[in-house]
Amino acid sequence: MKVSLTCYFPRLKRKAVGTRAAGDVFAGSFAASFVRERNLKSAIEFAIKAAAYSVTIKGAQSSIPGQKDLDQFLKERIK
Catalytic residues: 24
CA nearest neighbour of 18 among 64, 68, 76: 64
CB atoms within 10 A of CB 76: 8
One-letter identity of residue 27: A
C-beta of residue 43 within 8 angstroms of C-beta of residue 57: no
